[in-house]
C-alpha cells in the first residue's frame, strides 16, 4: 500500500470520527430537556419514546460497527440489548412497556459504544461503510426527534437561528425542463449510497414545466378557504377516506382564531407566514391541492432531472450531485442541518438554484412526488436488509431533505419514503403543469 493511499485512509477515519462526535452532540442537544416526565411521552404511532430511541441509536451503532462478524453478530456489551432495542423485532406499541435502561444508564450505553467505535477507527480496524451506515442512521433519528418535538408541542430544539429573508427575484412560476434520456439514481463512484438509490439507469423524460419553488402557506391557504377539504371532487378515493377518518378540515397544525389563521411551530402559536414553504401536509393533501390548482405532482424522475440536470453534460456521470453543482451544502445555498429552526421563505437562498432555475430543491421541506417507493432495476438489498425492501409498494417517495436534515446526508439522488397519510413529517411539495 503506497503512502497516498495510507493518507487517504487516515483522513477518512479522522473525518468519520469527527462526524460521529458531531452526530452524538446533536442527539444529546435534541434530548437534553427530555429527562424526567418526557422520557417516554405519550403512546402514539408516529413517535418513539425518547428513552427507547436513544437506546436504539446506541444499539444500532454497536450492532453494525462493533458486533458484526461476517453474516453473524457477536453478543452485545449490554445483556438483552436485542430484546430491548431491535426496531424490526419489537412492535412499536410495545416500546413503552419494556424494561428499559434508566435515562442515565442509556446515556452511559451511548457513550461506551461511541468510545469503542472511535477507538476502532483510530486503530484502523473499523469498516468505513458500516461506520457511515451508523452515522447516517443517527442523523435520521436526530431528524425524527425534531418531528417528535413538533408532534408533542415541545419547545424548539436549541439549534440554529431564524431563516433568511425572501428574495425579490426571480419570481415564482414555472421553469422549462428539456426532455431526453436521464440517468436516474446514484452512480457507483459516489462515496456512499443506500440500496434504494442503486444504480443509475436510463429513463426517458418528456419535456415538462415544474414550479420554481415549493407551494407556500399562502397558496395552500387559498385551497383551504375555497372549501378544498370539503369538496370531494379534489380527492382520490383513498384520500377522501383518509380525510373523513380524521375529519381533516385544514392542515394539522393550523387553527383559525378570531378570523386569523395561526400555525404551531413546536410549542408556539403564531400568525401564518404566507411566504414560507407549506409544511406538514401528507401526500393526499398535496394531491388534492394539485387537482384544485389544475396541476400535478412531479414524478420522481422529473424531480431528479430538475435538480441534477447539467447544461452541456455529455456523459451520464456529469449530472450534478447537488442542485447548484459539486460543492457541499452551506447555509448560503440550502436550509438544512438545523442552520435555521424552520422553513424559510420559498424565494430565499438563490445561490442554491439548480441549473434549470428551481430553488431550494435541497432542504427547507421534503417534497412529495407522484411515485410509489419501488426498487430500481436490478435491485440488490444491502447488508441492512430492512432499510428499503420491507417498504416497497405502500410508501410514497419524497425528495430533497428539510430544514432539520443533516447536510452530509442528502443529495440529488437521495430517496425518502413515507406512507401517504403521514403529515407529521416536515414535508411540502412543488407542482408541475399538466401539459
Confidence of residue 3 (pLDDT cuts 50, 70, 90): very low
**CA–CA gap between residue 264 and residue 262 (Å, rounded):** 7
Q: Higher pLDDT residue, 295 or 10?
A: 295
pLDDT > 70: what percent of the chain? 96
The predicted model gives 357-381 an average pLDDT of 98
CA angle 20, 373, 202 (to 5 degrees): 95
Let me know if domain 163-435 sits in CATH 3.90.1580.10: yes
Q: For residue 266, is pLDDT > 70?
A: yes
Distances in Å between the Cα of 380 and the Cα atoms of 173, 186, 321, 389, 419 are 40, 14, 23, 9, 23
CA angle 344, 349, 350 (to 5 degrees): 140
The predicted model gives 363-381 an average pLDDT of 98
CB-CB neighbours of 164 under 10 Å:
15
Q: Which fold has domain 3-151?
A: 1.20.120
Residues of the chain with CATH 1.20.120: 3-151
Q: For residue 114, is pLDDT > 50?
A: yes
Q: For residue 2, is pLDDT > 50?
A: no
- Helix count and strand count (H, E) for the chain: 9, 15
- Predicted local distance difference test score (pLDDT) of residue 189: 87
Confidence of residue 111 (pLDDT cuts 50, 70, 90): very high
Q: What would the pLDDT profile of 134-182 be if each residue is shown by its tens digit?
A: 999 999 999 999 999 999 999 999 998 999 998 866 567 999 998 899 9
Peptide bond into 199 cis (omega under 30): yes
Residues of the chain with CATH 3.90.1580.10: 163-435
Q: Which residue, chain included where needed, has cell 424490526?
A: 88
Confidence of residue 317 (pLDDT cuts 50, 70, 90): low
Amino acid at each position: 500500500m503506497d503512502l497516498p493511499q495510507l493518507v487517504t485512509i487516515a483522513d477518512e477515519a479522522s473525518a468519520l470520527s469527527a462526524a460521529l462526535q458531531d452526530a452524538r452532540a446533536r442527539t444529546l442537544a435534541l434530548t437534553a430537556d427530555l429527562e424526567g416526565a418526557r422520557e417516554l411521552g405519550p403512546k402514539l404511532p408516529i413517535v418513539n419514546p425518547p428513552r427507547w430511541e436513544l437506546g436504539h441509536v446506541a444499539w444500532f451503532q454497536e450492532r453494525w460497527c462493533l458486533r458484526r462478524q461476517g453474516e453473524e453478530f457477536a453478543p452485545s456489551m449490554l445483556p438483552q440489548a436485542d430484546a430491548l432495542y431491535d426496531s424490526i423485532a419489537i412492535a412499536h406499541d410495545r416500546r413503552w412497556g419494556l424494561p428499559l435502561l434508566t435515562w442515565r444508564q442509556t446515556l452511559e450505553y451511548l457513550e461506551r459504544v461511541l468510545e469503542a467505535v472511535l477507538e476502532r477507527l483510530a486503530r484502523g480496524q473499523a469498516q468505513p461503510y458500516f461506520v457511515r451506515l451508523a452515522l447516517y442512521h443517527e442523523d435520521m433519528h436526530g431528524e425524527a426527534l425534531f418531528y417528535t418535538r413538533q408532534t408533542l408541542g415541545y419547545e424548539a430544539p436549541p439549534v440554529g437561528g431564524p431563516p433568511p429573508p425572501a428574495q425579490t427575484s426571480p419570481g415564482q412560476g414555472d421553469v422549462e425542463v428539456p426532455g431526453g434520456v436521464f440517468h436516474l439514481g446514484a452512480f457507483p463512484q459516489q462515496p456512499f449510497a443506500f440500496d434504494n438509490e442503486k444504480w443509475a439507469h436510463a429513463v426517458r423524460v418528456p419535456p415538462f414545466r415544474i414550479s420554481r419553488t415549493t407551494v407556500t402557506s399562502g397558496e395552500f391557504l387559498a385551497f383551504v378557504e375555497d372549501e378544498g377539504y370539503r369538496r370531494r371532487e379534489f380527492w382520490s378515493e383513498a384520500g377522501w377516506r383518509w380525510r373523513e377518518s380524521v375529519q381533516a378540515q385544514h392542515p394539522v397544525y393550523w387553527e383559525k382564531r378570531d378570523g386569523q389563521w395561526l400555525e404551531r411551530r413546536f410549542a408556539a402559536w403564531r400568525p401564518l407566514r404566507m411566504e414560507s414553504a407549506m409544511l406538514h401536509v401528507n401526500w393526499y393533501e398535496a394531491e388534492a391541492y394539485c387537482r384544485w390548482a389544475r396541476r400535478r405532482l412531479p414524478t420522481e424522475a422529473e424531480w431528479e432531472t430538475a435538480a441534477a440536470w447539467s447544461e452541456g453534460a455529455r456523459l451520464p456521470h456529469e449530472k450534478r450531485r447537488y442542485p447548484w453543482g459539486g460543492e457541499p451544502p452551506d447555509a448560503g445555498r440550502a436550509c438544512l442541518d438545523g442552520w435555521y429552526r424552520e422553513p424559510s421563505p420559498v424565494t430565499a437562498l438563490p445561490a442554491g438554484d439548480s441549473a434549470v432555475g428551481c430553488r431550494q430543491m435541497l432542504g427547507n421541506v421534503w417534497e412529495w412526488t407522484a411515485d410509489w417507493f419501488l426498487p430500481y432495476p436490478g435491485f440488490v438489498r444491502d447488508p441492512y436488509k430492512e432499510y428499503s425492501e420491507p417498504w416497497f409498494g405502500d410508501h410514497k417517495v419524497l425528495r430533497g431533505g428539510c430544514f432539520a436534515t443533516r447536510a452530509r446526508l442528502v443529495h440529488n439522488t437521495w430517496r425518502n419514503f413515507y406512507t401517504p397519510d403521514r403529515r407529521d413529517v416536515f414535508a411540502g411539495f412543488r407542482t408541475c403543469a399538466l401539459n
